[in-house]
Structure 1
Amino acid sequence: MAHGIPPLRSGHHLQLLEGSVELFPAMVTAIDAALREVRLETYIFDFNESGAEVAYALERAARRGVAVQVVVDGLGSGDLPPAQLQRLEMAGVQWHVYSPTGTLGLLWPGQWRRLHRKLCVVDGAVGFCGGINILDDFHDPNHGALEAPRLDFAVRVTGPLVARMQETMERLWRRIEAVRRLRSAHLRGTLTSLRASGTRAAVPAPPVLSHGLPRAKAALLLRDNLRNRAVIERAYLRAIGRAHREVIIANAYFVPGARMRRALVNAARRGVHVRLLLQGRYEYFMQYYASRPVFGALLRAGVEITEYEPSFLHAKVAVVDGHWATVGSSNLDPLSLLLAREANVIVEDRAFAHRLRQRLLHAVQHEGRRMEAAAYDNRSRATRAKEWVALVLMRLALLVQGKKYL
């Protein structure tokens, strides 16, 4: 569905995975069992520590004849290690960089539109979606070693939505291939290739073998800059607007626009228990400080805000009324909701939502610091000045893109 929220479909098996410590072994197991193809997209591919295990699994798959296609973001992954790339390419791994930054970097307006989604599909039968980059839980590219693991989530899924994951990944791969060939001045060959790839027959996926009945309802939300510009935000707004008892949101970079702020305030005022688990440690200037001016209105409406403290919070998840949940790559900020390619899974399943809710509640109660309205109102002039500068920078970045959000 191009402009609306896709309907939830039944027939899914879902497994919530926390951090790379759970995601990477599940991915490696799936990749090692691959018979035909592996597709992977990620914002960051870091070869340190456990990230290398995923790279080795991709290499093993390619060496035994599996078609392996990887897309990484040109900003998030930066300059990849030449030795590692050479090793993967020699094994037969096909590798593309989405929107290389070039000499101007983010000074060029189009470079703010990034590939931020994290997807993996194996043999068209099992998929992974979430917020976790190919990055070890205890390593940060900008801050080095971490004392505690980064908090983030992904979901392993089998069922109907895996086909949509594969379709969108195939489409992006063909687009990157076309752009690369056009830049190489092979226009005739590109058009021929596009015609062939657009009409090729789909290879049937092998049957999914699993225990029990696949009962969970789920859908894949894909945000892009064409037809699906607001689908993830609409899904959040609909769930919050329908909430009766509880909304729990954990979000790394939380800079909600006017509609999202109104939805949260209105929910709190009608008696819904609204909890936000947000970034408590400084990571990036603009995202950290630009979020804080909106906290006042939320606190006054009765929204509870907890800042996660043990490590960096990278999660982009939510649970509403104990049955609706989402896990994905999209932050509730304008960089995600207006510019980046994002992917979230939405789930209607009480068992799945219960597990995610319990983990978030534990973090709220034992791993965070509750923000008090009085302390917020008494923050220093220096802090307020940083907030103002961050907001101006974010608005300027959006203005250059022709966007308005705040």
Structure 2
Amino acid sequence: MRHTELWPHFSDGNRLTLLETGAAFFPALEREIDAARVEIFLETYIFKYDAVGTRLVAGLRRAAARGVAVRLLVDGFGSRHFVEHHRKDLLEAGIQLLVYRRELSRWSLRRHRLRRLHRKLAVIDGRVAFVGGINLASDIPDHIPDHPRHDYALKVEGPLLRAIHSSVRHVWELVAWASLKQRFRLDDIAPPQGRHVGDITAAFVIRDNIRHRRDIENAYLDAVDQARRQILIANAYFLPGRRFRRALVAAAERGVEVTILLQGQVEYRIQHYATQALYPSLMHHGIRIFEYRRSFLHAKVAVIDDVWATVGSSNIDPFSLLLAREANVIARDRGFAEQLRTRVEHAMAEGARPLSLTHWRKKPLLTRMLRWLAYGVARLAVGISGYGKGKEGL
């Protein structure tokens, strides 16, 4: 193990409800917003005023009208259009809106511009939270209307609420202070009691740019190092550094079945083709790779040996592991891990295809060269940002 201290901080007595795609997540979130009586914290990278966003904003308006303290924190890049067009209306409705690193110039090359709020969190009345990878926007692609983006979120109840509630309050205070929005500073509200409501042992793990820079990555690496039978990872944007790749290869070489489900649809070309440049070396070491083609894959989940599982916002790429604010829940529970594995394997059976090393090696030389060119561009971008140095680099 890489860490001998008691980290992450696990708590017993939690209930985790797995929510698959927006079809399960959005109605559950909306119901809890309508049940709120004291406060709502909502954090997201992308908020769009589409069919989903309109319903959620209506719920936030109703909550504010009945006296609930509604606090909405969005990222200045991912939600820039939402902020530009709806900021005034939300403030007039009594919704407190803060913007994390507001995008003032789209042509800025400053390094801190890449430090985004990529977390997707909600905490309502300190009694229930949502953690996952689903943005507050419709997850139905325009050209694939029958199949939503495949992603997961968790409804969290129990002692874990203390850590999640503390984290969202902390980030809200930081942004309020940095934005000079003193009127949005928080009153002293009693923290959640976090009563035992279930039997799942779980931890809330974040990534930031100060004390928790490596927490999510190290949690993954510790679990991979201890794997003995099976590693299943489903990740939308997968471009791991050398440490992570070596850990996966070492697991495969000691007989662990390593399976990675990745994006098959092309969304961001550089990232997509840079990832594909890694396929031959990973498959050469016996790592199985599947591409999800039914729709867009937006998941950030993993299951290891059916005893360790994670759901959250963090991809396994430099953006998530080195730059953005992220949040994951890690569960040490056989029942939950088996449930998540079953759902991921069902998604694979319905919409993914396995890749063959032989077939991949037969691709035209130009195709392979373009993949490595994309990888070089991605590596250069990370290097320019100043975060690509050392053994953790690409």
**Do these two structures clear the TM 0.5 threshold for a shared fold by scoring above it?**
yes
User: Is 1:403 aligned to residue 387 of structure 2?
Assistant: yes
Change (3 A) 1:101 1:86: closer
Change (3 A) 1:4 1:204: closer
Q: SS of 1:15's equivalent? A: strand
Residues 256-335 of structure 1 mapped to structure 2, 5 A cutoff: 256-335=240-319
- The alpha-carbon deviation at position 206 of structure 1 amounts to 6.7
Aligned counterparts of 2:354 and 2:47: Cα–Cα separation in 1? 33
Change (3 A) 1:106 1:246: farther
Alpha-carbon RMSD:
2.2
Alignment match, 1:151: 150
* Unaligned segments of structure 2, at least 5 residues: none
User: Is 1:205 aligned to residue 186 of structure 2?
Assistant: no
Alignment match, 2:131: 129
Change (3 A) 1:267 1:39: same
Identity of aligned residues (%): 43
Change (3 A) 1:147 1:233: same
Q: Is the 8 A contact 1:119 1:129 kept in 2?
A: yes
Deviations 1:72-100 (A, max 9, x none): 11111121176644432222101111112
Q: SS of 1:26's equivalent? A: helix
Letter paired with 1:30: E
Q: SS of 1:244's equivalent? A: coil
Alignment match, 2:89: 87
Q: Which moved more, 1:280-289 or 1:98-107?
A: 98-107
Aligned counterparts of 2:306 and 2:98: Cα–Cα separation in 1? 40
Residues 2-401 of structure 1 mapped to structure 2, 5 A cutoff: 5-80=7-82, 84-105=86-107, 107-139=109-141, 146-181=145-180, 201-205=188-192, 213-401=197-385
Letter paired with 1:179: A
Aligned counterparts of 1:220 and 1:310: Cα–Cα separation in 2? 31
Letter paired with 1:252: A
Change (3 A) 1:402 1:84: closer
Change (3 A) 1:123 1:178: same
- The alpha-carbon deviation at position 392 of structure 1 amounts to 2.4
Q: Is the 8 A contact 2:312 2:327 kept in 1?
A: yes
Q: SS of 2:82's equivalent? A: coil
Letter paired with 1:169: V
Deviations 1:38-91 (A, max 9, x none): 000000001212232221111111111000011111111121176644432222
- The alpha-carbon deviation at position 364 of structure 1 amounts to 2.1
Q: Is the 8 A contact 1:4 1:231 kept in 2?
A: no
Paired positions, count: 387
Deviations 1:168-202 (A, max 9, x none): 211111111112229xxxxxxx6xx89x86xx644
Change (3 A) 1:82 1:63: farther
Q: SS of 2:13's equivalent? A: strand
Deviations 1:287-327 (A, max 9, x none): 10111222112111111100001110000000111121000
Aligned counterparts of 1:298 and 1:395: Cα–Cα separation in 2? 18
Letter paired with 2:366: A
With normalisation by structure 1, the TM-score equals 0.90
Letter paired with 2:297: L
Q: Is the 8 A contact 1:105 1:111 kept in 2?
A: no
Q: Is the 8 A contact 2:140 2:149 kept in 1?
A: yes
* Unaligned segments of structure 1, at least 5 residues: 183-189
- The alpha-carbon deviation at position 144 of structure 1 amounts to 6.4
Aligned counterparts of 2:106 and 2:50: Cα–Cα separation in 1? 27
Q: SS of 2:105's equivalent? A: coil
Aligned counterparts of 2:129 and 2:211: Cα–Cα separation in 1? 23
Change (3 A) 1:98 1:260: same
Q: Which moved more, 1:85-94 or 1:289-298?
A: 85-94
Aligned counterparts of 1:31 and 1:277: Cα–Cα separation in 2? 33
Q: SS of 2:92's equivalent? A: helix
Deviations 1:89-131 (A, max 9, x none): 2221011111122224452321111100100000111110000
Q: Is the 8 A contact 1:5 1:234 kept in 2?
A: no
Letter paired with 2:333: D
Aligned counterparts of 2:219 and 2:52: Cα–Cα separation in 1? 33
Aligned counterparts of 1:403 and 1:166: Cα–Cα separation in 2? 30
Q: Is the 8 A contact 1:130 1:327 kept in 2?
A: yes
Deviations 1:138-190 (A, max 9, x none): 14xxx6664411000000001122121121211111111112229xxxxxxx6
Aligned counterparts of 2:85 and 2:387: Cα–Cα separation in 1? 40
Q: Is the 8 A contact 1:123 1:206 kept in 2?
A: no
Aligned counterparts of 2:201 and 2:244: Cα–Cα separation in 1? 25
Aligned counterparts of 1:320 and 1:126: Cα–Cα separation in 2? 26
Q: SS of 2:180's equivalent? A: helix
Q: Is the 8 A contact 2:15 2:198 kept in 1?
A: yes
- The alpha-carbon deviation at position 255 of structure 1 amounts to 0.5
Aligned counterparts of 1:145 and 1:175: Cα–Cα separation in 2? 39
